[in-house]
Amino acid sequence: MKELIVATTNQGKVKEIQAMLKDLNIEVKSLKDVYDDVPDIVEDGKTFKENALIKAKYVADDLHKIVLADDSGIEIDAFGKLPGIYSARFLGKDTPYPIINQAIIDAIEGKERTCRFVCALALCIPDQEPILIQETFEGEIHDHIAGVNGFGYDPIFYFPPCQKTSAEMTLEEKNKYSHRAKALKKLYTILKEL
C-alpha cells in the first residue's frame, strides 16, 4: 500500500481526502500521524496555490515522502474576496467558527451574497516537479447558520442547486460538488496513473 501524507492537522480535510481516494489502496496520513511535534509551517504565499505548495514542499523535503497539501478558504465578493487566503485566521486565529460565521452573516446584510470556496492542491513527489490543481465551489452566504456536517464556513455556505448549506449536505453530495472534491477528482486521475 502506498502512503500519502496530507500536510494538515484538520481531520475534516483528511476524512474528505480518504473518502475520495479510498479505492486507490493509498494509506492517507495527517501530520499528526507522522510527527511527534507537528512543525509550524509559515504560509506566507499570496495565493492559495502558493500556500499549498509551501506546505507540501516543506513536508516532502523534510520526510522525503509523497505529500499532498491543500490550501482552501472562502472568497466573499462583497468583502473584496476576503477572507480568501486568510480564511483560517479571519477575525483571529483562535476565534471559533460560530462567532466568525455569525459576524459574516451580520456584516453581509443588504449586500451581494455571492461567494465561493477555493481549493488548491499541491502534490510533491520526491525528484519530480510539483503538481498544482485549483478548483472552486460557487454559492452564496446563507442568512443563518445551518447544518452540522463539515467544518469552518460550511454552515453559512449555501449551495442553491441542492437548496442547502454545505454543512447540511451529505458526504456524497459534498463529494459530487465541492471545491475539494473537484480538485481531488483531478488528483485521483493523476495518482491512478502514478
Q: Is the pLDDT score of 1 beyond 60?
A: no
Q: Mean of the per-residue pLDDT values for the chain? A: 93
Condensed to tens digits (0 to 9), the pLDDT of residues 150-180 reads: 889 999 999 999 999 999 999 889 888 999 8
Mean pLDDT of 58-64: 96
- CATH at residue 135: 3.90.950.10
**Residue 192 assigned as binding residue:** no
Residue range(s) defining the domain that contains residue 124: 2-193
Output the pLDDT for position 132.
98
pLDDT mean over 28-50: 94
Q: Which residue out of 44, 62, 70, 71 is catalytically annotated?
A: 71
pLDDT of residue 61: 95
| 116 labeled part of a ligand binding site | no
Q: How far is 172 from 81, CA to CA, in rounded Å?
A: 28
The pLDDT of residue 150 is 81
- Any idea which of 11-15, 48-52, 87-91, 106-110 has the lowest mean pLDDT? 11-15
Closest residue by Cα to residue 175 from 63, 19, 2, 9 = 19
pLDDT more than 70, % of the chain: 99
DSSP letter for each residue of 168-179:
GS-HHHHHHH-H
Number of domains in the chain: 1
- To the query of whether residue 143 is one of the catalytic residues in this protein, the response is no
Contact between 73 and 104 under an 8 Å Cβ cutoff? The reply is no
Q: 72 labelled as ligand-binding? A: yes
> Rounded to the nearest 5°, which phi and psi values hold at 44?
-110, 20
Residue 189 is labelled as binding a ligand: no
C-alpha cell at 184: 481531488
pTM across the whole model: 0.89
Q: What would the grid cell of residue 191 be?
A: 495518482
